[in-house]
Structure 1
Amino acid sequence: MDSTLDHVMIRVADLEESLGWYQKHFDYEEQDRYEGDGFTIVYLGPREMHEGSAMLEITHNEGEDPELGDAWGHIAVRVPEGELEAVYKQLMEEGVEDYRDPESCGGRYAFIKDPDGHEIELVQRDHGEKWSLDHTMIRVEDADAALGFWTRKFEYQEVGRWEADTFANYFVQPKDAAPEEMAVELTYNYDGRTYNSGDSWGHLCVRVDDLHDDWKLLMEREAEDYRDPTECDDLYAFTKDQDGHEIELLKRDPQTDSLFPF
């Protein structure tokens, strides 16, 4: 299965506040927008994006105040090598919440929060546009099952791991992915804890070549039949991993101007 991590979706309480935050602090541009019945979806990303770069999808449902859980961890955005301290200082001067500064993270990375409390890691990279999505972290209750899900169902490969005394991080990505593409970080805590998903984090989206053929392949590989293509007007579909994280399958029409399939 050929696929690319297309976007990660988060839900926000105040659309204009969130858009303003990401546009001010990350210099994101609105890539596309869809106004539905009682909801709005906006795709955001840096001004210059690699063709394989993932976008951030912000969803606002009118009258709803999303609840954070701990099953979803964070998104990570790239900053240039050697600029972490300067970037963090600038964000603090701009009024961003001081959550975990570089010093507390050994000078290797840092964390901030957006207006809805979504955690955002700042990671130093020598590739990819500044502020582009580097990875999305999700917490899993069984590392073997999680790695098996991504390698068997989607044919992803493990591209990195860090095993500490109390937890481990495993990074997976499509085969032959460009450095600019986003990865998925699977975090496994050894103490057997369970997690609450909440609804503030939405889903990961995988862009595929053929929606129906790839969905059929996933079903043959025993992925969960959550929302099949026919339930979604044959425009997209949803499965879930072993921990209940939602994963969208989407095929875009390259002949249209819109990023949305409808």
Structure 2
Amino acid sequence: MSDVLDHVMMRVEDLDESLEWYTTHLDYEEKGRWEADSFTNVFLGPEDAGEDDALLELTYNHDDRTYEMGDAWGHIAVRVPEDELQSSYDQLMEEGVEDYRDPESNDNRYAFVKDPDGHEIEIVKRDHGAKWSLDHTMIRVEDADEALGFWTRKFEYEHTSRWESDSFANYFMAPSDASEDAMTVELTYNYGGQTYDLGDAWGHLAVRTDDLDEAWETLMEREAEDYRDPESCDNRYAFTKDQDGHEIEIVTDD
């Protein structure tokens, strides 16, 4: 089992406001929508997103609830061309996006903005992929060895890169045969035994597979958590959790 990340889900308090923000500032378009009695899911991505590009899922619950951001989820990262970090950030500022962490404050290597609900969005320089396409999703983990083992054993992911500093380490994970445009998961480990609050403003990562039942059977053989099995989800998808409680959905192309 070695499948790419299909999407990342976040919850929003005002769907119209969020859709306007992502379509206006990141030039996203609607790729799919699912309307239920109590919630709406909308999938977004760049117009020229490729087959292996992950999408952003916005979930809006119809009961007007509010959400806690927590700190176990960090951010999503979107790509811009290598020479367009500053100009892309300046454009967002001109459009009224919140000035959170500009390129200069990050040694002109990356920048951060926030969406209307406070989800952090990193802007990274890449020489591949559609502009504004999803590059990675960052989650914080309490035990680096355990987290690396989870993604390696359960999903057959491997390191694509790592960065270690005096106080924290970042590990990027993806399937060995994934294209460079596929979204990676960034595992951030802060030294010192920190613990985190999941909150509920972030929902899940989703892994795409060809055969749901086979993938689920493999996960169970590898002792993944049996959170929501395919049968309980009408055999359309399933959910497990990592060692820190981050939810991971298993989906198919259908």
Query: What TM-score does the superposition give when structure 2 sets the normalisation length?
Result: 0.99
Give the whole-Å Cα distance in 2 for the aligned partners of 1:124 and 1:33.
30
Unaligned runs of 5+ in 2: none
SS of the residue corresponding to residue 3 of structure 1 reads coil
Aligned positions of 1:84-163 closer than 5 A:
84-163=85-164
What amino acid maps onto 1:164 in structure 2? S
SS of the residue corresponding to residue 212 of structure 1 reads helix
- TM-superposed CA distance for 1:65, in Å, is 1.2
What amino acid maps onto 1:116 in structure 2? D
Aligned positions of 1:92-241 closer than 5 A:
92-241=93-242
Count of paired positions:
253
Q: Which residue of 1 aligns with 2:18?
A: 18
- TM-superposed CA distance for 1:252, in Å, is 2.3
Contact 1:140–1:186 (8 Å) recurs in 2: yes
Contact 2:2–2:157 (8 Å) recurs in 1: no
CA-to-partner distance for each residue in 1:50-80, whole Å, 9 max, x for gaps? 1000000000001211211100000000001
Q: Which residue of 2 aligns with 1:30?
A: 30
CA-to-partner distance for each residue in 1:133-154, whole Å, 9 max, x for gaps? 0000000000000000000000
SS of the residue corresponding to residue 4 of structure 2 reads strand
Give the whole-Å Cα distance in 2 for the aligned partners of 1:8 and 1:40.
15
Give the whole-Å Cα distance in 1 for the aligned partners of 2:99 and 2:226.
41
SS of the residue corresponding to residue 247 of structure 1 reads strand
Structure 1 segments (4+ residues) deviating >6 Å: none
SS of the residue corresponding to residue 91 of structure 1 reads helix
Give the whole-Å Cα distance in 2 for the aligned partners of 1:245 and 1:60.
19
| Root-mean-square deviation (Å) | 0.6
What amino acid maps onto 1:58 in structure 2? L
Contact 1:2–1:209 (8 Å) recurs in 2: no
SS of the residue corresponding to residue 244 of structure 2 reads coil
SS of the residue corresponding to residue 151 of structure 2 reads helix
Question: Percent identity, aligned pairs only?
Answer: 69
Q: Which residue of 1 aligns with 2:9?
A: 9
Give the whole-Å Cα distance in 2 for the aligned partners of 1:90 and 1:52.
27
What amino acid maps onto 1:21 in structure 2? W
Query: What TM-score does the superposition give when structure 1 sets the normalisation length?
Result: 0.96
